[in-house]
Amino acid sequence: MRDYKLVFTGPMGVGKTTAIAAISETAPISTEVANADASVAKATTTVGLDFGQVTLDNGDRLRLYGTPGQARFDFVWKILVRDALGLAILIDNSRPDPLADLAVYLDGFAGALEKMPCTLGVSRLPTHPSPTLDDYAHALAQRGLVLPMLAVDPRRKDDVIALIETLLMQIEVLDEEVAP
Ligand SMILES: Nc1nc2c(ncn2[C@@H]2O[C@H](COP(=O)(O)OP(=O)(O)OP(=O)(O)O)[C@@H](O)[C@H]2O)c(=O)[nH]1
Ligand SMILES: [Mg+2]
């Protein structure tokens, strides 16, 4: 039985807390406080972490951590990602400048990106089709990065599972490279 620690990050309101609550089989742990940031219309925001757990069919266990979105908590980002095996960056396409948001998290998690697989999930694409996934691929390529990318609705369990599966697949490939 294996234990995988995965981290979800991304801007405020993208749905990190929502995604973990959508798939956790135990009551998710969250650290929400009233949201004082008027630029994002929601009642609460994460100030510590989210935590949820999922058991896979083969008995492997996933431990899922969500970061706070706000960059003033970037010290928490570093703590949460420390011994993770994979990172999911979620970007909200309805925000004013999603590619700038992506840059914030690529910079904030630059160290982690060198060490662990990462997947990019883009939410609200159906209602906000620009930037396209091609635009994201281009922005990543400018930094020499190639990441799996998919459209996600964090409220949908199947979408969150698809996101996690792309991480698990990459982790397996790395394992095989280390121990052929
Ligand atoms: N309509 C719509 N709502 C969405 C979609 N994705 C997320 N949401 C909503 O957006 C909100 C996201 O809130 P949270 O899950 O608290 O976001 P978060 O990323 O944890 O935010 P912080 O902790 O503040 O950084 C929830 O109310 C979701 O229901 C989407 O694709 N469409
Ligand atoms: Mg949250």
Q: In angstroms, rounded to a whole number, what is the distance separating the alpha carbons of residues 180 and 173?
A: 10
The predicted pLDDT at position 14 comes to 98
- The pLDDT value given to residue 38: 92
Residue 117 CB–ligand 1 contact under 6 Å: no
Ligand nearest to the CA of 13: 1
pLDDT band for position 180 (cuts 50, 70, 90): low
Q: Please state the atom number of ligand 1 nearest to the C-alpha of residue 124.
A: 31
Q: Is 9 in the pocket of ligand 1 (CB under 6 A)?
A: no
Q: Does domain 3-178 have CATH number 3.40.50.170?
A: no
Closest C-alpha to 116, from 82, 150, 149, 71: 82
Q: Ligand 1 pocket test: pick from 31, 42, 47 the residue with the most ligand atoms within 8 Å of its Cβ.
A: 42
Query: Mean pLDDT for the chain?
Result: 96
Summarised one tens digit per residue, pLDDT across range 14-37 is: 999 999 999 999 999 999 999 999
State phi, psi for 150 to the nearest 5 degrees.
-150, 155
**How many Å apart are CA 144 and CA 22, to the nearest integer?**
33
Cβ of residue 12 lying under 6 Å from some atom of ligand 1: yes
| Cα 176 to averaged position of ligand 1 atoms, centre (Å) | 36
Report which ligand 1 atom has the smallest distance to the Cα of 45.
24
User: What's the whole-model pTM score?
Assistant: 0.97
User: From CA 60, how far away is CA 5, in angstroms rounded?
Assistant: 11
16 lines ligand 1 (CB under 6 A): yes
Asked if residue 43 lies in contact with residue 83, where contact means CB atoms within 8 angstroms, the answer is: no
The gap from C-alpha 114 to its chain's centroid, in whole angstroms, comes to 16
The answer to whether residue 46 scores a pLDDT higher than 90 is yes
pLDDT per residue over 109-162, tens digit each?
A: 999 999 999 999 999 999 999 999 999 999 999 999 999 999 999 999 999 999
Average pLDDT over residues 40-61: 94
Give the mean model confidence (pLDDT) for residues 63-90. 96
Please report the pLDDT score of residue 178 as a whole number: 76
Question: Could you tell me if the CB of 170 is within 6 A of ligand 1?
Answer: no
Q: At what angle do helices 133-141 and 98-108 cross, to 10 degrees?
A: 40
Q: Which residues pair with 150 in a beta bridge?
A: 121
- Residue 64: which of 79, 47, 85 has the closest Cα? 85
Percent of the chain topping pLDDT 70 = 99
